[in-house]
Chains A and B, each alone.
Chain A
Amino acid sequence: MIDQATINELRNIVGKKNVDTSKISLDTYMYDAGLVYGNPEVIVFVENKQQIAQVLKLANSKKIPVTPRGNGMGVSGGAVANRGGIVLVMTRMNRILEIDVENRIAVVEPGVLNIDLQRAVAPYGLVYRPDPASQKVSTLGGNLGENAGGMVGIKYGVTKDHIVGAELVLPDGQFVQIGGKVEQIVPELNFNALLIGSEGTLGVVTEIYCKLSPASKAVKTMLTAYKTLEDAGRAVSAIIAHGIIPCTLELMDNNVIKAVEEWLHIGLPLQAGAVLLIEVDGWDAGLDRQAQQIIDICKEVGAIEISLAKNAQERDNLWMARRNAIGAMGRLRPNYDMEDATVPRTKLPQILKTVTKMAEKYNITIGMLAHAGDGNLHPLVLFDERDEDEMKRVHKIRHELFRTALDLGGTLSGEHGIGLGKLEFMTWAIKPEYLKFMRHERLAFDPNEILNGGKFVPETAA
């Protein structure tokens, strides 16, 4: 329990208005975009890095749990205060500190929205590549913590490929620079790799160095439809086997197609088992030939419909289904759960088939999205949280889904993280000796385990 003296000290650090213990606020901050809940005892809004250092130092000295939080868009419980304590809200630290166009680096505070960085660098012909579906509302601090992915992962990678360093505050209030803006040439350990995707268990970032890339000069967008999921899966493998690396390769199954079509009436092929949204980008020269190669390949594996966008307007139309897929599915039932089990690319048809069977077996509607080029599955499981029996079946599906993914050589999570949501499956995926190794790493940064304690790396593993 946090006592009044501590609350007063917090008020001294960040100002009275930035410490909130009202019931309504505590309830508002009890969840993220996923399915797990936890009530904090106090919400602290920070405005600068010195405040963060002081709050952490105080919490560390009293061993009070701290949960750093951006906009709470995560889906694995990363921003949920599972142990009470302090929720440290970073959203007021939302300044873009520097856009260094010539050096292609942006320095941002962790509360900056992904989309705001995109908009700020676009006029310079630059782009920050990672574009998670949540980009309009998720913060770069959150993106870093979860190693967020997006639609262009197959060609351009994920967050960890585009963040080159950060300033970090440790639980004892000390600052360290991780990585940096120039090529890292000194013999030292690469803590940047450890930090990205560490789910806020190593420290709190106060500045992030984002690598910017020149925007692609041209893009070709295709929407291709197939009779079955398997055909779509074969198309994915065939495209890759031809040495083509599209920047986008998104799959939607029949449930999603129907949900979108019923809502938006955009003329999607209702009879299709699956559609693939495919995009190639780069320089103008040769892009037509690449697109034609892809069209030929898709025809070969039996595509029943192929549309190639001729202009920006048509491109937007082709993207409309994918952009609205989650919203369309969400309309159907009170709740949805979107998992991100990931398998080697060629195993995608197999896991899609298995999930379809699970949906029938447990009488649950599942719509299937996938970053197909990455083997990253996004089954949208629909249910009503208030229906106990249905919830039991949903949990069974989750268990079977993760078991299947691991058996196919896959992983529990491609881009959403472990957090609290998948903690129970960690021992399936990772040997006890490795859990112990990771625990040592975590404790080297946060010996008292005040940051996101009890998440990601199970505590039993030491």
Chain B
Amino acid sequence: MRQETIKALREIVGQEYCQVDKAIRRQHGYSEKAIPDVVVYPENSEQVARVVKAAIEEGCPVVPWGAGTMAWRGLLPLTGGVAINLTRMKKIIEYDYENQTAYVEAGISLKELQEVLVEHKLYWPVEPLEPDSCTLGGCIATNASGPSKLGYGDAKFHLLGLELVTPTGDIIDTGGKTVKNVQDYDNTRFLAGSWGSLGIVTKAMLKLRPLPEKEGTVLIVLKDLEAAAKAATTIRNETLPVALELLDAAAMGILARAGYKPNSSGVGVLARFTGFVEQVDVMIDYIKNKYQAAVTLDEEAAVAVWRARGQLFPTLAGERGAILINAAVPFTKMLEFLTKARTELDKSNIEAIMAAHFGNAQVHIMLAQAPEAYAEVEKMVNSLADLAGSLNGMLVVDNITDMTLARRWVESRGKAIFEIMRRLKTSIDPHQIMAPNSKVLAYVTRPVS
């Protein structure tokens, strides 16, 4: 990067907020090798826009950055360019609790935000993997979700509008403050999950929910996948859980290491109910009457089990790392997929666990294998992908740089999808600077690997 560009960036954000220190750059990169040339910490949207314009001048990439907790999933390695760290932009501009909205800067930590919202018994119902460290902007860029997406949907369902710094350095506002709004294309939801590829989300109008009167969690440990999948199916059909998870026996083993020790071994079904007291009680009673093994967890245990559920992957990964596979099939094919996938996994001697958002018919398979050594498991993953495909589903690996599998599913949408992507990217980002390492548009920004 040219010295005069560094100088220009310093002038925009101030000397101390423009860092070329290697340790800091490393925190904003994908790996030791792939790090930015410079990290800037803008204070407001105007500064973000000016940084983007400076990058256009330099002809270098810009990548928005929050806490960096999800980068390993949605970004590819990129060397050079500017990382725009948004964590200084953490103002709550307006908390309109009567309308149940909040207008907030993207760099605020989710935890800090929730602490403010709870003062008026409201919250933003999104459960990212790392709720204590992630930023709001990160949740939006990645369209974060957790178990409760069954009941409430992922992040995009809880947004009313966004402020975006475009790849040409303009500041635009999508959506608005009303819960119904059709005066623009729904770019609010479209940009949620776009991983920075079409611009940098700098502010968001959040749609909030009232805290439920009651929350209850039930855990059922059953002898095998079939019994558990049947129970989970019944729960989904007969009650209204906001979260419904299935953890196979191997995952239940890791759950103990992750902070919650189940009373018995087997396959776990974990269901959460929220709402008015009577409704939560009647649903939980229904389950307890039906399944002897069902246990209602007290508040402390419920917090522990959900936290441990969120920690399955990092616990398995440890220092070595782990491969995170993500599969989706029709709900009716869940048992077949889980059973056959387990058989396939058991052929290998690599430790593997399965944790499903059962109600959403989505399965995470985690392999105790470093992502760098993906080649060693590629054949097995491909069989799993074929299995998902044969059941009208799909399967990808979240944390590798090889896009072959992802491309397979996108291509099946029809070749024209790439033409649309290419036209969209080149017209909105004519200088090709905005997060070119974002996987969601890598199909057209990068050559086929």
**Which stretch (A89-97, A146-154, A391-399) binds chain B?**
A146-154
Option from B179, B275, B282, B406 in Cβ contact (under 8 Å) with A154: B179
Q: CA of A441 to CA of B164 in the docked complex: distance in angstroms?
A: 15
Option from A185, A197, A237, A409 in Cβ contact (under 8 Å) with B328: A185
**Cβ of B329 and Cβ of A196 under 8 Å apart?**
no
**Cβ of A241 and Cβ of B98 under 8 Å apart?**
yes
**Which stretch (A220-228, A342-350, A382-390) binds chain B?**
A342-350
**Cβ of B178 and Cβ of A344 under 8 Å apart?**
yes
Option from A186, A190, A346 in Cβ contact (under 8 Å) with B99: A346
**Residues 61 to 104 of chain B near chain A (Cβ within 8 Å):** 74, 96, 98-101
Inside 8 A of A289's CB, which chain B residues have their CB? 276, 278
Inside 8 A of B197's CB, which chain A residues have their CB? 189
Give A221-259 as 1s and 0s: 1 = Cβ < 8 Å from B's Cβ atoms: 000000000000000010011010100000000000000
**Cβ of A414 and Cβ of B182 under 8 Å apart?**
yes
Q: CA of A87 to CA of B314 in the docked complex: distance in angstroms?
A: 56
Option from A147, A175, A343, A344 in Cβ contact (under 8 Å) with B186: A147
Option from B180, B240, B330, B419 in Cβ contact (under 8 Å) with A103: B330
Q: CA of A441 to CA of B185 in the docked complex: distance in angstroms?
A: 9
Closest to B388 in A: A182
Number of interface residues of B (CB under 8 A): 89
With contacts A376-B180, A441-B424 known, is A189 near B190, CB below 8 A? yes
Smallest CB separation, A352 vs chain B (Å): 15
Q: CA of A147 to CA of B362 in the docked complex: distance in angstroms?
A: 27
Inside 8 A of A184's CB, which chain B residues have their CB? 328
With contacts A187-B74, A187-B440 known, is A160 near B331, CB below 8 A? no
Inside 8 A of A160's CB, which chain B residues have their CB? 186, 189
**Cβ of B279 and Cβ of A283 under 8 Å apart?**
yes
Smallest CB separation, B11 vs chain A (Å): 24
**Cβ of B279 and Cβ of A286 under 8 Å apart?**
yes
**Residues 80 to 117 of chain A near chain B (Cβ within 8 Å):** 100, 102-104
**Cβ of A191 and Cβ of B330 under 8 Å apart?**
no
**Cβ of A198 and Cβ of B185 under 8 Å apart?**
yes
**Cβ of B187 and Cβ of A413 under 8 Å apart?**
no
Smallest CB separation, A104 vs chain B (Å): 7
**Residues 216 to 239 of chain B near chain A (Cβ within 8 Å):** 237
Inside 8 A of A444's CB, which chain B residues have their CB? 420, 423-424, 427
**Cβ of B410 and Cβ of A186 under 8 Å apart?**
yes
**Residues 178 to 215 of chain A near chain B (Cβ within 8 Å):** 178, 181-191, 193-194, 196-198, 214
Q: CA of A185 to CA of B275 in the docked complex: distance in angstroms?
A: 28
Q: CA of A262 to CA of B211 in the docked complex: distance in angstroms?
A: 44
Q: CA of A237 to CA of B97 in the docked complex: distance in angstroms?
A: 11
With contacts A175-B414, A187-B440, A374-B179 known, is A102 near B332, CB below 8 A? yes
Output the residue of B74, B193, B439 with the most chain A CB within 10 A. B193
Q: Is A375 an interface residue (CB 8 A)?
A: yes
Q: CA of A461 to CA of B171 in the docked complex: distance in angstroms?
A: 16
Q: CA of A411 to CA of B443 in the docked complex: distance in angstroms?
A: 36
**Cβ of B177 and Cβ of A418 under 8 Å apart?**
no
Q: Is B135 an interface residue (CB 8 A)?
A: no
Q: Is A13 an interface residue (CB 8 A)?
A: no
Closest to B74 in A: A187
Output the residue of A245, A343, A376, A434 with the most chain B CB within 10 A. A434
**Cβ of B240 and Cβ of A214 under 8 Å apart?**
yes
Closest to B169 in A: A433
**Cβ of A190 and Cβ of B156 under 8 Å apart?**
yes
**Cβ of A174 and Cβ of B415 under 8 Å apart?**
yes
Smallest CB separation, A424 vs chain B (Å): 13
Q: CA of A184 to CA of B192 in the docked complex: distance in angstroms?
A: 13
Closest to B214 in A: A286
Inside 8 A of A282's CB, which chain B residues have their CB? 240, 275-276, 279
Smallest CB separation, B323 vs chain A (Å): 15
**Cβ of B362 and Cβ of A185 under 8 Å apart?**
yes
Inside 8 A of A174's CB, which chain B residues have their CB? 414-416, 419
Inside 8 A of B101's CB, which chain A residues have their CB? 344
Q: CA of A185 to CA of B156 in the docked complex: distance in angstroms?
A: 14
Q: Is A415 an interface residue (CB 8 A)?
A: yes
Number of interface residues of A (CB under 8 A): 84
Q: Is A120 an interface residue (CB 8 A)?
A: no
**Cβ of B394 and Cβ of A413 under 8 Å apart?**
no
Q: Is A431 an interface residue (CB 8 A)?
A: yes
Q: Is A429 an interface residue (CB 8 A)?
A: yes
**Cβ of B190 and Cβ of A194 under 8 Å apart?**
yes
**Cβ of A433 and Cβ of B182 under 8 Å apart?**
no
Q: Is B181 an interface residue (CB 8 A)?
A: yes
Give A411-439 as 1s and 0s: 1 = Cβ < 8 Å from B's Cβ atoms: 11111111000100010011101100110
Option from A102, A185, A241, A411 in Cβ contact (under 8 Å) with B326: A185
With contacts A186-B409, A286-B279, A434-B174 known, is A412 near B180, CB below 8 A? no
**Cβ of A443 and Cβ of B427 under 8 Å apart?**
yes
With contacts A103-B330, A194-B187, A282-B279 known, is A410 near B178, CB below 8 A? yes
**Cβ of A176 and Cβ of B172 under 8 Å apart?**
no
Smallest CB separation, A341 vs chain B (Å): 10
**Residues 153 to 205 of chain B near chain A (Cβ within 8 Å):** 153, 156-157, 166, 170-174, 176-190, 192-195, 197-198
Q: CA of A433 to CA of B172 in the docked complex: distance in angstroms?
A: 7
Q: CA of A160 to CA of B181 in the docked complex: distance in angstroms?
A: 11
**Cβ of B279 and Cβ of A193 under 8 Å apart?**
no
**Cβ of A243 and Cβ of B211 under 8 Å apart?**
yes
Smallest CB separation, B388 vs chain A (Å): 9
Inside 8 A of A283's CB, which chain B residues have their CB? 240, 278-279, 282-283
**Cβ of B183 and Cβ of A411 under 8 Å apart?**
yes
Closest to B330 in A: A103
**Cβ of A413 and Cβ of B182 under 8 Å apart?**
yes
Q: CA of A443 to CA of B100 in the docked complex: distance in angstroms?
A: 36
Q: CA of A413 to CA of B181 in the docked complex: distance in angstroms?
A: 6
Q: Is B10 an interface residue (CB 8 A)?
A: no
Q: CA of A415 to CA of B183 in the docked complex: distance in angstroms?
A: 9
With contacts A196-B186, A414-B182 known, is A187 near B195, CB below 8 A? yes
Give A264-292 as 1s and 0s: 1 = Cβ < 8 Å from B's Cβ atoms: 00000000000000000011011001100
**Cβ of B178 and Cβ of A375 under 8 Å apart?**
yes
Q: Is B361 an interface residue (CB 8 A)?
A: yes
**Residues 280 to 336 of chain B near chain A (Cβ within 8 Å):** 281-283, 326-332
16 contacts between A and B (CB under 8 A): A100-B332, A103-B332, A172-B416, A186-B396, A189-B198, A191-B420, A243-B212, A286-B278, A286-B282, A342-B178, A345-B179, A414-B178, A418-B182, A430-B184, A433-B171, A440-B424
Question: What are the 3 closest A-B residue pairs judged by CB atoms, nearest first?
Answer: A286-B278, A243-B210, A193-B189
Binding site for B on A (CB under 8 A): 100, 102-104, 146-147, 149, 153-154, 157-158, 160-161, 170, 172, 174-178, 181-191, 193-194, 196-198, 214, 237, 240-241, 243, 245, 282-283, 285-286, 289-290, 342-346, 371, 374-376, 409-418, 422, 426, 429-431, 433-434, 437-438, 440-445, 447, 457
If A176-B413, A176-B414, A440-B428 are given as contacts, then 5 extra A-B residue pairs at C-beta distance below 8 Å, sorted by A number, are A182-B361, A190-B190, A190-B192, A197-B182, A410-B176
